[in-house]
A and B are shown apart, each in its own frame.
Chain A
Amino acid sequence: MFLSPKVVYESISELFENGYPSGKLQFLVKEIARNFGVDSVNLAIYEANKDILRIIAGEKGLISKKINKEPLNSSSIIEIEEKRYFVYLLKFEGNLIGALFSSSEIDYQKYKEYIEEFSNLLYHSYNLFMTKMKMQRMEKLLEITDVFRKVESLDDLPVQFVKLMFKHIPSEVIFIAKKEKEDYTIVYSIPDKYKETLIPGFSDFSLNVFSESPKIIVKPNIENNFLNIKLKSLITVPFRLNGEKDKYWLVFINKTHGSGYIPEKSYEDFDLDIVVDAVKRFKLTHSRLTFFQKLKDEIEKLKNLKIEHEKLIENQKEQLRKMNMVHYISQAMRISYDPKEVLKILLIGLTSGRTLGFNRALLLLKDAEKEVLVGKAWLGPANDKEVIREWKKANQRAMRYGDVVQYLREESMSLTLDNVLTRKIKDKIFPYKSHRFLERAVVRRKIVHVNKNVIYETNTPDFLLPLLESDEFVIVPLIGKNDTIGVVVLDNRFSRHPITTADIEILRIISDSAGLAIENAINYAELREKTLNLEKQKYVIEYLKDFSELVLQNLSAAVVVLDKEGKITELNRKAESYFKITKEQILGHKLEAFGNQFLEIKNLAYQVLKEKKEVKLRDYKIKMFDQDKYFDISISPLWDSERIMLRGTIITFEDVTERVLLERERKKQEKLAALGEMSARVVHELRNPISVLGGFIKRLEKYSDDETKRKRYLKIISDEIVRLENIVSEILEFSKDKRVLNYEEFNINELISEVFLLHEDRIKSKKIMFEYKTDSENMEIYADKSRIKQVLINLIQNAIDETPEGGKIEIKVKKDLKSIKVEIWNQGNPIPSEVLEKIFTPFFTTKIQGTGLGLSICKKIIEEEHGGRIWVDPRGNGNAFIFELPIKKSEEV
């Protein structure tokens, strides 16, 4: 009777799983004995690693007896515990797998098939069981992988790892040791108590255990093991972690298991495989976590970098804005001629939140004689309480303007410098010599940046620090043409914003441009004042003349009295000295006795006698003793005391040569200054056409053979030359002093039509409504036609530029007895009052293109050349430019 495979498999599995031969195995052996017809049979299996046979079941239950297989072959006899047994080897495909020990001999031939069948079943059951075990171990590995995948913290990893190992390969001790120099330290262990144990490098233990490759050590011969454990078997696996130099060992000591049958009590290869594999996974996980940690760090860094970068861009934007503001501040200062206004613009520009936004600006100007600085103005809130209120108000004002230049100018006009701060420093003396900050700024013209560190460097008593009460400030010298004219001290006392190097760079531009602008304005103001004083003197003279003839002699003016015949009857001392003649010599003579240049005055004196009306001549030039002298002359009728009888004429000559020359000098200065200030604009205006010309001339040379290109380039070149000529002639026009005028009689209506035709295309393309009104068809005038045409071209051109699409232009020509008035009105934004003042100033322009000379040339032509008048009148929904010309040449009026 054959055995059931199920019974064999179950018996074998039970043995291995429980470690005890079960009843089933016992039953199996009895069944075999019964089959053989013998008393008893023992079953042994072959343990290949030890090359022994081990009895696992038989008449005495579990005996676990080892039997050397060497002398055995089938049908030999062996003695076990003093009892003889017949041996029948169990083989599968020729390999030994076990043996049956029978108490009596059996007929082998009879049972051969039975024994072979049993061998087969045993082999397959064993294999099936081992496969199942492998699968279970595979599952363990999977579990290990799974655990590793779930670990997220690098610190946690070794602990989890060791715990896991302990679970799957139960051992007395498991630890990770790390090599440190020559010795080894346990970094993790189960049980925990071995942690931080030091194992000397040259101990027996180290030499055996800390090997170069993974291995199993069975029954090692190690005397001192530092752990106080009897060593039975060990697994040791060396490893390194990715990117680390340190060497580690994972060590298992003494496999633990229940009692009973275990094919292998010490660690076996499979355990080692699992450990090696687990270490690999551990290393991978460690790398992954390290990588993630690095990635996290990198992301963090990147995030910070991004924030920094954004900050940088913000800063750059802010600097760009500030630089533009510097440009506007300089522009606003340049177009102002009043020194006070220039200073105010500077202070507002430095402190307004719209522009550079410093909290406070303290202005000290240098007194050149005393070599000290004098307090002038201090702009900013007086204390913390004022800050919010003042800045809010200032911001509201600032935001009303689209144009920064306009804002600065209007704000400066409305600003009064009688605030709390200014009262603290007004006209106070600030000696700069040997002052540690001010001297450097004033004498060496350096921007001095003072911060906490610098302040507390020395304990020198100082007047500036207690005044400012700030930790950080910057002293900016205002540098004029030859010398420092003063300093501005800036701080952020309230906002406490640090002053950056970029701020300092921006202030450097201010330092250069502000000084020049202030100096220019001061020069103009001085010149103006001189001229004004002279004017005042003149009024005094007229006053005295009206009320007393007695003071004649003491007058600063020369007085000559003529009788009805034109003979000189009286002259004062001044006249004697002016004309270098004595009273006695000249009395009774006619006026031409002074020289032919007095003929015109003589004739005028006749006219005065006739019309009984005073005539005044201003800045009248008389050449005397080879010198051009200028006089204000008045020729008045001389009545007797009752004002009934006309007795003659009284002529006063006031020498205004000095004033005329000064005025001329002033004009020249203004012109030069304007030229200088605005030369950048002219350079820009000229540079473009010149560059374009040069560029295309080069291209022309290069492509001289190409007909189409040649034509195109020549056209561009000729256009640019015309443009260049126009700019150059405008500039020449402006700087030229005198011009010979070609007077002729012409009808101004015809001239206007002519100019209109020039602009017709543009008027149509902008859909401008054009209205023309004239008092009469015939508007004859005596003037230089080409010059007046120039004026009309400029004014109509401007009108078209300023009129919006579909807007309106109106021209009116009016006439009275002496003059013709031309009014050119266009729809458009009314010109603001502060622009009105400057509109005829050379180089002033609100446009990007052009020299800014157009209107100043018109003024020159109308007023200086033709003795007329030109002005602007913003009205309706636009502006009217009006000029008035005498019908006849001015001298003939």
Chain B
Amino acid sequence: MTKKRILVVEDEDNMRLLIKEELEESGYVVDEAKNGEEALKNFKEKEYDLVTIDIEMPGMNGLEVAGKIREIKKDAKIIILTAYSHYKSDLASWAANAYVVKTSDLTELKDTISKLINS
């Protein structure tokens, strides 16, 4: 079985590294993007099974990136990572498939990813 491919969009190097290492250990192929422009470039070039996006980034913010990605592929699976728990409200739910609050414990992120990828 081929490995699922995930694009991690995150502006902070160490955070991105952490997510990448953890997801690779869970058996995914992980590509990185430092900002919205890079993310869109990657997304146009390759097929991704899922994209995680940090909400607060310089330049395009996470919601904007999610919107642009959905313009390219309307059923793209997207998880928004956020420092604020209130983004979990229903209102924003259509902009992404899920909202995950950033913590040191990536279990929730991994669970959400596997749920979405297998759905």
List A residues at the B interface (Cβ < 8 Å): 309, 313, 316-317, 319-320, 323-324, 505-506, 508-509, 680, 683-684, 687-688, 690-699, 716, 719-720, 847-849
Contacts and interface: CB of A to CB of B under 8 A. Distances in A.
Interface string B1-28: 0000000000110110110011000000
B39 to A, nearest CB: 16
Contact of A691 (B64, B67, B84, B104): B104
A848 B67 CA distance: 20
Contacts of A313: 70, 74
A692 B105 contact: no
Given A313-B70, A320-B67, A848-B56, A697 B14 contact: no
Nearest to A702: B25
B17 A716 contact: yes
A692 B14 contact: yes
Contacts of A847: 58
B64 A695 contact: no
B15 A848 contact: no
B76 interface: no
A849 B58 CA distance: 8
A112 B61 CA distance: 110
B74 A696 contact: no
B18 A695 contact: yes
A509 B105 CA distance: 29
Contacts of A309: 74
Given A323-B63, A688-B12, A692-B14, A848 B58 contact: yes
B94 to A, nearest CB: 6
A505 B14 contact: no
Contacts of A697: 104
Interface size class of B (residues with CB under 8 A): 20 to 34
Nearest to A847: B58
B114 interface: no
Contact of B15 (A317, A323, A509, A692): A692
A666 to B, nearest CB: 29
Interface in B23-46: none
A319 B94 contact: yes
- The main secondary structure of chain A at its interface with chain B is helix
B38 to A, nearest CB: 16
A410 B12 CA distance: 33
A506 B22 CA distance: 36
Given A683-B83, A716-B17, 15 more contacts: A316-B94, A319-B94, A324-B61, A506-B91, A684-B83, A688-B15, A690-B104, A691-B15, A691-B18, A694-B104, A694-B105, A696-B14, A698-B104, A699-B21, A847-B58
Nearest to A686: B83
B116 interface: no
B83 A320 contact: no
A60 B67 CA distance: 100
Contacts of A698: 104-105
Contacts of B57: 848
Nearest to A723: B14
Contacts of B94: 316, 319
Contact of B64 (A316, A324, A688, A720): A324
A695 B70 contact: no
Nearest to A719: B14
Contacts of B56: 684, 848
B83 A688 contact: yes
Contacts of A684: 56, 83-84
B18 A692 contact: yes
Nearest to B57: A848
Contact of B84 (A508, A683, A719, A849): A683
B89 to A, nearest CB: 9
Q: Which of B18, B22, B92 has the most CB of A within 10 A?
A: B18
B84 A693 contact: no
A323 B92 contact: yes
B106 to A, nearest CB: 7
Nearest to A694: B104
A698 B90 CA distance: 32
Q: Which of A508, A687, A695, A699 has the most CB of B within 10 A?
A: A695
A849 B56 CA distance: 9
Nearest to B66: A320
Contacts of A692: 12, 14-15, 18, 104
15 contacts: A317-B67, A323-B63, A323-B95, A324-B64, A505-B90, A680-B83, A684-B56, A687-B83, A688-B12, A688-B15, A691-B102, A696-B18, A697-B104, A698-B104, A848-B57
B63 A694 contact: no
**A-B CB proximity, top 9 nearest:** A694-B104, A684-B83, A687-B83, A695-B18, A848-B58, A695-B104, A692-B14, A505-B91, A691-B104
A688 B63 contact: no
Given A313-B70, A324-B64, A688-B15, A694 B103 contact: yes
B113 to A, nearest CB: 15
Contacts of A848: 11, 56-58
A320 to B, nearest CB: 5
